[in-house]
Amino acid sequence: MELKEFFENFAEVMDLDDANSLSENTEFKELEEWSSLSALGLMAMIDEQYGVSLTAADIRGSKTIGDIIEKIKSHSNE
């Protein structure tokens, strides 16, 4: 998975102007733009772009963007 591309997709879902502010250590739920709609958007984006269906529990159980990336990788290997 191309990290830069993932950050861009993430920024798109969250309506962030600048993907460069994101990193694997970003605690995404602390972002001002985070909302319940972001969670749905994130799940839909990951499903569409990476073919992985994360659950709401996966999102709840993740703190950083890195956690999300790990979950996508572990689901891709199943």
Q: Does 45 bind another protein (CB under 8 A)?
A: yes
Question: Which residue from 4, 23, 27, 37 is in contact with another protein, where contact means CB under 8 A?
Answer: 37
- CA angle (36, 14, 20) in 5-degree steps: 145
Those residues with Cβ within 8 angstroms of residue 68's Cβ, 6 or more apart along the chain or in another chain? 28, 42, 46, 54, 58, 59, 62
Which one of 3-11, 16-24, 55-63, 68-76 is the stretch in contact with another protein (CB under 8 A)?
55-63
| Count of residues of this chain found to bind another protein when the rule CB under 8 A is applied | 14
Phi-psi region of 15 (alpha: psi -120 to 50; beta: other; left: phi over 0): left
Sites for another protein among residues 4-23 (CB under 8 A): 13
List contacts with another protein (CB under 8 A). Answer: 13, 35-37, 39-41, 43-45, 48, 56, 59-60
